């Protein structure tokens, strides 16, 4: 065999083996996550994706859906971003489209999408992606009437293209402090993976003030996070070379662990590395704090069904002991729901 071809083949093999490994060691708390059979998955809102979830003060969950027509009865014209209210239990829920003047139009990168939602003291906050109408930047919006009307911030984050919120229970009632936390892959484009994720926070009564946001910089010698107002000094809380893209983080209060669902991007050379609606994998990572230290609870490069490009563990659908929960994901280009059971490591 030609020497250059052999070297190329060996290089590809090495890269493949490395990429198949999770970036962090096994969880010290979670032994494994067991998924319900694939034929138990509930799917609604066929043809829609991009499905961030939050649990609001009225006990309903709210979502955005993108590039589709939402729940039955579907809207007549395809939307880049629509809104819906979810009521009921995971085995018997109903999605209700919310019509709003803030609905977005435009296909693919030209239309704004919803990447992250949170409810705080009755106010819904939304991170929208594709704010530049070319697949990049993020913009904040907020609603005081459960997604019927929205106010758009007059500022944007040009550095971050996939921002989300860390969700803490119903209407943020399990928050660890008086701050709202957000995260993003450390890149401006929603379809281009980064090498790490960043974390930022703001006082809960100042979410809409750009100058009030601070960024995680590092962990100090005492193990405490250091925050900075200078975006240039930001650090990363999670590293995975060329694998950080779409994600969602929720606090599992009974287990006192943060669960971070992270998409594994489509392989290099794919037309859209963010498109894993029908095939692909993901990781679920856990930590005692939103800045870590992170460990791996579940990791697969190819799930038994399409994992979707966004996955979320709604706090509303977690059991009292935190061991039974449901993944809301956009697999099959639908609002898909699958039960998961967390098996904990045995006590010493």
Kindly report, residue by residue over 299-345, the tens digit of the pLDDT. Answer: 999 999 999 999 999 999 999 999 999 999 999 999 999 999 999 99
Q: Where are the alpha helices (DSSP H) in 38-171?
A: none
| Amino acid 20: pLDDT | 64
Residue 6: is its pLDDT beyond 80? no
The model's pTM: 0.93
**CA–CA separation, 36 vs 345, rounded Å?**
20
**CA–CA separation, 72 vs 336, rounded Å?**
15
Residue 9: is its pLDDT beyond 50? no
Spell out the domain ranges in the chain.
33-344
Q: Which fold has domain 33-344?
A: Tachylectin-2; Chain A (2.115.10)
- In angstroms, the Cα distances linking 90 to 75, 166, 276, 308, 338 are 23, 21, 23, 18, 8
**CA–CA separation, 249 vs 166, rounded Å?**
5
Q: Which tens digit of pLDDT belongs to each residue from 80-106?
A: 999 999 999 998 999 999 999 999 998
Residue 5: is its pLDDT beyond 70? no
Q: Of 69, 52, 166, which is closest to residue 115 (Cα–Cα)?
A: 52
**Secondary structure of residue 4 in the 3-state scheme:** helix
Mean pLDDT of 210-235: 97
- Mean of all residue pLDDT scores within the chain: 93
| 3-state helix vs strand vs coil in the chain, percent to 5 | 10, 45, 45
pLDDT band at 108 (very low <50, low <70, confident <90, very high): confident
Contact 27, 298 (CB under 8 A): no
């Amino acid at each position: 065999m030609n020497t250059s071809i052999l070297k190329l083949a060996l290089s590809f093999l090495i890269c493949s083996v490395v990429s198949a490994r999770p970036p962090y060691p096994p969880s010290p708390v979670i032994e494994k996550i067991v998924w319900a059979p694939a034929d138990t998955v509930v799917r609604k809102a066929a043809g829609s994706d991009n499905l961030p979830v939050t649990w609001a003060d009225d006990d309903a969950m709210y979502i955005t859906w993108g590039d589709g027509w939402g729940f039955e009865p579907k809207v007549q014209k395809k939307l880049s971003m629509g809104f819906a209210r979810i009521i009921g239990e995971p085995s018997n829920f109903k999605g209700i489209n919310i019509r709003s003047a803030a609905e977005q139009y435009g296909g693919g990168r030209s239309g704004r999408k919803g990447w992250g939602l949170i409810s705080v003291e009755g106010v819904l906050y939304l991170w929208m992606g594709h704010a530049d109408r070319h697949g990049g930047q993020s913009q904040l919006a907020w609603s005081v009437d459960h997604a019927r009307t929205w106010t758009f911030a007059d500022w944007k984050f040009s550095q971050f293209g996939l921002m989300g919120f860390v969700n803490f229970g119903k209407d943020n009632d399990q928050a660890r402090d008086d701050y709202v936390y957000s995260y993003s892959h450390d890149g401006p484009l929603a379809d281009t993976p980064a090498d790490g994720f960043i974390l930022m926070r703001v006082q809960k009564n100042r979410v809409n003030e750009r100058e009030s946001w601070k960024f995680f910089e590092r962990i100090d010698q005492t193990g405490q996070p250091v925050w900075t107002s200078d975006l240039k000094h930001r650090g990363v809380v999670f590293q995975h070379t060329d694998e950080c893209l779409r994600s969602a983080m929720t606090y599992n209060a009974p287990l006192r662990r943060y669960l971070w669902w992270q998409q594994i991007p489509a392989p290099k050379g794919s037309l859209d590395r963010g498109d894993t609606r029908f095939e692909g994998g993901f990781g679920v990572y856990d930590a005692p704090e939103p800045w870590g230290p992170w460990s791996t609870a579940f990791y697969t490069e190819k799930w038994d069904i399409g994992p979707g490009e966004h996955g979320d563990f709604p706090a509303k659908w977690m059991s009292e002991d935190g061991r039974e929960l449901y993944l809301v994901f956009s697999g099959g280009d639908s609002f898909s729901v699958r039960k998961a059971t967390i098996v904990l490591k045995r006590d010493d």
